[in-house]
């Protein structure tokens, strides 16, 4: 097929696709986060959804949670026309940990969601990514009714390395989640760049 120069310039670029994991304890908001930004109907094994089609402001956090994700959440978001993220929510239940290694294959980075009322629920995910050298960003899902803490306090409680970013978010809010994802991608790319940079002599 012959294309003139002008038609070639109009050919859309194939977007780069990146894989991002979404982890954190049970009820921390992983399914909510993926659902808030996904352009495709999130694929879930839980079909009795509480959050879909229901006003978000009548929810009261974990207390209103009636379903759980058995396998995983999957979603897609186009951050820019040339950059598409595939989101994979990690299974929240301990007995599905064996799926993580499979999911982590080829992931650029991860979001670890945390709830300040139950920070310890995020330790396992943080340990997991630290041990495997997968870049991650911690996003505190600010549930209403949960006390707000200064980021330094949360960082100390999670024992985060100085280079790990910690951001605040609302997992129900598209723009908020988008900025978390941008932070994750930027952080992971900086680390990847550093790893591949020629060693200074
Ligand atoms: N108030 C409030 N509720 C939230 C927020 N994020 C999630 N939820 C609710 O908390 C419950 C657990 O969230 P879910 O996404 O299922 O958690 P997961 O187990 O990590 O997938 C659901 O009922 C959500 O609607 C939030 O930022 N604020
Ligand atoms: Mg879930």
**pLDDT tens-digit series, residues 26-84:** 899 999 999 999 998 766 555 444 444 444 444 445 545 555 555 568 999 999 999 99
CA angle in degrees (0–180, nearest 5) for 82-130-173: 50
pTM of the predicted model, to two decimals? 0.81
Mean pLDDT across the chain: 83
Quick one: which ligand is closest to 71's CA? 2
Give the C-alpha separation, 5 to 16, whole Å: 23
List own/partner pairs for 179-184 with CB under 8 A and 24 or more apart: 180/33, 180/111, 180/137, 180/139, 181/20, 181/37, 181/77, 181/79, 181/85, 181/87, 181/111, 182/79, 183/137, 184/20, 184/109, 184/110, 184/111, 184/135, 184/136, 184/137
Quick one: which ligand is closest to 49's CA? 1
pLDDT at 102: 85
Residue of 37, 45, 46, 59 to test ligand 1 pocket, by largest number of atoms within 8 Å of CB: 59
Q: Which atom of ligand 1 is nearest to the CA of 73?
A: 21
Distance 94 CA to ligand 1 centre (A): 18
Is the pLDDT at 20 greater than 50? The verdict is yes
For the ranges 50-59, 100-109, 120-129, the lowest mean pLDDT is seen at: 50-59
């Amino acid at each position: 097929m012959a294309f003139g120069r002008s038609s070639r310039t109009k050919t859309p670029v194939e977007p780069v696709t990146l894989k991002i994991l979404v982890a954190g304890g049970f009820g921390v908001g992983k399914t909510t986060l993926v659902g808030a930004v996904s352009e495709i109907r999130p694929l879930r094994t839980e079909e009795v959804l509480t959050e879909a089609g229901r006003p978000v402001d009548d929810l009261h956090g974990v207390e209103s949670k009636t379903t759980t994700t058995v396998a995983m959440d999957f979603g897609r978001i186009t951050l820019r026309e040339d950059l598409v993220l595939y989101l994979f929510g990690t299974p929240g239940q301990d007995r599905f940990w064996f799926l993580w290694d499979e999911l982590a294959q080829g992931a650029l980075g991860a979001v670890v969601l945390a709830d300040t009322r139950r920070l310890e629920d995020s330790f396992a995910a943080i340990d997991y990514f630290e041990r495997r050298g997968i870049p991650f960003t911690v996003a505190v899902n600010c549930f209403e009714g949960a006390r707000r803490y200064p980021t330094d306090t949360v960082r100390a409680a999670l024992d985060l390395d100085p280079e790990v970013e910690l951001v605040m978010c609302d997992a129900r809010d598209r723009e908020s989640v988008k900025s978390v994802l941008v932070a994750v991608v930027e952080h992971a790319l900086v680390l990847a760049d550093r790893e591949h940079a020629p060693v200074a002599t």
